[in-house]
């Protein structure tokens, strides 16, 4: 049996979801994959980094989180206030990175990921910042050190988009991607299609937890831009700068515009798209509201659900539909990446 040691940075919604999933699945993973995953390190911003070489107590970590108690209450664990110090001073096989997304400079995640890859740890992340701003640099660094850098859950959470395209569609030549990659805006536009105003629906989405208190990253399209930048780097091997992605959010869409589209047999969706310009390999990237005919599978994807349509030379069109966020859904994407690292190569 393989024994794999994990360190987790970021112990919020996603990090706690991962610990819960691990606690629930440990036995199953042992039987199914002959692999035992041990969580040896956990860090957050408030309490720093704790480490126990023999493994941390998963139910206790869950209890500490539930009761708002500090990680440092975990018995027999070493502690560093600065997560970087803990990461540098301890040993694990895989870093699971789930700290907040920062689309300006991808920090602090970028430093954590750099340190882990340089120390021959595989890295899996749910964070969009590092993949959007530095995917190729980090993939190169991973290659140099003989490890994996994976980010399935950064695009459509646990719905397998990146692995389906990069591994499941290996050998196909991808010509375009078009997707609904942001659940908040799709929830708002879907609700507006039943005759409601943008402001009213946004307030409702915030009350129900579908939208952040500051919804700018979602409604102005920045979140979808980050995901399209990740896909450009991973699928087309062409990193884009943020200004190379045409961006328009949904804040100016009116109830009347939504109704005009419905009367014409269409639905307005915030579509993130990537395609190669005819006759060259240059990528044309955009995130903007588009009125889609009902014959387009994306037009019928409603609520917080996400979807992506991939066009390839050998498959015509493939559409993947599924959750784009959520505690367990995102943790599942991290778990799939962890198991892929174990399968593809693990340092002994």
Ligand X SMILES: NC(=O)c1ccc[n+]([C@@H]2O[C@H](COP(=O)([O-])OP(=O)(O)OC[C@H]3O[C@@H](n4cnc5c(N)ncnc54)[C@H](OP(=O)(O)O)[C@@H]3O)[C@@H](O)[C@H]2O)c1
Catalytic annotation, residues: 227
Residue of 43, 219, 231, 304 interacting with ligand X (CB under 6 A): 43
Which x/- pattern, by CB under 6 A, does the window 153-192 give for ligand X? xx--x-----------------------------------
Please, which residues have CB within 8 angstroms of residue 119's CB and are 6 or more apart in sequence? 88, 145
Q: Smaller CB distance to ligand X: residue 61 or 98?
A: 98
What order do you get walking across the sheet with 266-276 strand by strand? Answer: 245-247, 283-293, 266-276, 174-180, 306-312, 316-322
Residue number, nearest CB to ligand X: 12
- Whether 36 and 26 have beta carbons less than 8 Å apart is answered as yes
Residue of 8, 98, 191, 321 interacting with ligand X (CB under 6 A): 98
Q: Does 87 bind ligand X (CB under 6 A)?
A: no
Task: Give min distance, CB of 340 to ligand X, in A.
Answer: 17
Number of residues forming the site for ligand X (CB under 6 A) = 26
Q: Smaller CB distance to ligand X: residue 126 or 261?
A: 126
Residue of 7, 35, 44, 299 interacting with ligand X (CB under 6 A): 44
228, two tokens: 């399209």
Q: Is 284 exposed, middle or buried (0-12, 13-18, 19+ CB in 10 A)?
A: middle
Q: Which of helix, strand or coil describes residue 189? A: helix
Among 56-64, 149-157, 238-246, 258-266, the segment contacting ligand X (CB under 6 A): 149-157
Residue of 85, 244, 326, 346 interacting with ligand X (CB under 6 A): 326
Helices (H), the chain: 13-33, 58-66, 83-89, 109-118, 128-144, 162-163, 183-192, 198-207, 216-219, 222-235, 255-263, 327-344
The dihedral through the CA atoms of 289, 290, 292, 298 has a sign that is: negative
Q: Does 83 bind ligand X (CB under 6 A)?
A: yes
Q: Does 290 bind ligand X (CB under 6 A)?
A: no
What is the C-alpha separation between 49 and 13, in angstroms, rounded?
A: 17
Residues binding ligand X (CB under 6 A) = 9-15, 43-46, 83, 98-101, 108, 126-128, 153-154, 157, 325-326, 330
């Amino acid at each position: 049996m393989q024994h794999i040691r994990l360190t987790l940075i970021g112990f919020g919604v996603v990090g706690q979801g991962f610990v819960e999933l691990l606690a629930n699945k440990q036995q199953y993973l042992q039987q199914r994959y002959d692999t035992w995953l041990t969580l040896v390190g956990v860090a957050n911003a408030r309490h720093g980094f704790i480490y126990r070489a023999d493994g941390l107590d998963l139910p206790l970590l869950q209890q500490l989180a539930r009761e708002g108690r500090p990680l440092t209450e975990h018995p027999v664990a070493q502690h560093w206030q600065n997560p970087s110090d803990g990461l540098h001073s301890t040993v694990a096989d895989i870093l699971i990175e789930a700290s907040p997304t920062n689309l300006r400079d991808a920090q602090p995640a970028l430093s954590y990921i750099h340190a882990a890859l340089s120390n021959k740890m595989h890295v899996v992340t749910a964070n969009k910042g590092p993949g959007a701003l530095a995917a190729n640099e980090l993939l190169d660094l991973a290659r140099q050190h003989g490890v994996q850098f994976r980010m399935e859950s950064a695009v459509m959470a646990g719905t397998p988009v990146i692995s389906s395209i990069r591994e499941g569609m290996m050998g196909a030549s991808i010509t375009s991607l078009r997707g609904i990659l942001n659940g908040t805006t799709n929830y708002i536009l879907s609700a507006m299609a039943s005759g409601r105003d943008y402001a009213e629906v946004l307030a409702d989405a915030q009350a129900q937890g579908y939208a952040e208190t500051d919804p700018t990253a979602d409604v102005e399209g920045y979140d979808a831009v980050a995901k399209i930048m990740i896909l450009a780097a991973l699928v087309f091997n062409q990193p884009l700068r943020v200004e190379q992605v045409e961006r328009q959010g949904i804040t100016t869409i009116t109830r009347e515009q939504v109704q005009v589209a419905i009367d014409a047999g269409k639905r307005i969706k915030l579509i993130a798209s990537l395609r190669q310009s005819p006759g060259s390999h240059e990528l044309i990237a955009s995130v903007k509201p588009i009125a889609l005919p009902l014959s387009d599978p994306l037009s019928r994807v409603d609520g917080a659900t996400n979807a992506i349509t991939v066009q390839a030379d050998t498959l015509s069109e493939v559409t993947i539909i599924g959750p784009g966020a959520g505690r367990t859904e995102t943790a599942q994407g991290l778990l799939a990446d962890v198991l892929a690292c174990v399968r593809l190569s693990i340092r002994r």
